[in-house]
Every structure is written in structure tokens, then in C-alpha cells.
Amino acid sequence: SGTLYDFVAFQKALNESIAPWQDRHLDLETEDFRKISSTGENIVHALWSKIDSRVNQQLARLRLWETKNNRFTLRRTA
């Protein structure tokens, strides 16, 4: 089918990963950002480990769009 990963499973992993952040002030109410600011760079780093662990380390790239012109991308390296 050309699918690299089951979209439903990925969506579940994403939703589980961001659930603790929903409707929270990230810097004040979450453990992930108690010691670092919730900048786009830091958010994508924190998301990477959460999602990657749920998809059996199959994540190759993660991109977070902050605005239409500003994005943060992480890629798995060899």
C-alpha cells in the first residue's frame, strides 16, 4: 500500500503524547518544561521522545509548524 506506518496507530501515539499538555500552561503545569522554556525547539525535542517510544523507534522525522513560515524539524540520524 506504500504506507510506512499505520496512520491510526501513529495518530493514537501522537494523541497519547500530547494529552498531558492539553489545556495546560506548559512551563508551569507540566514536568517536561519545568526546567526549560516551552519554545518550539524544546517542544519538538520533547515530542520526539514521547512519540518515538510509542512507535517502536520508527520515527524518521518530526516537524512542528509554529507559523506558516516558521517550523522546527528533527530527523533521526544514522
Sorted by where each begins, the domain ranges of the chain are 7-75
DSSP code at position 4: S
- 20 pLDDT higher than 60: yes
Considering the four listed CATH numbers 2.40.70.10, 3.30.479.10, 3.80.30.20, 2.30.40.10, the one that applies to the domain covering 7-75 is 3.30.479.10
Enter the pTM of the model. 0.84
Averaged pLDDT of the chain: 92
Mind listing the pLDDT tens digit for each residue in 33-55? 999 999 999 999 999 999 999 99
Instruction: Please tell me the distance from the alpha carbon of residue 28 to that of residue 5, in angstroms, as a whole number.
Output: 34
The pLDDT of residue 1 = 54
Cα–Cα distance measured from residue 45 to residue 33, given in angstroms and rounded to the nearest whole number:
11
Higher pLDDT, 2 or 40: 40
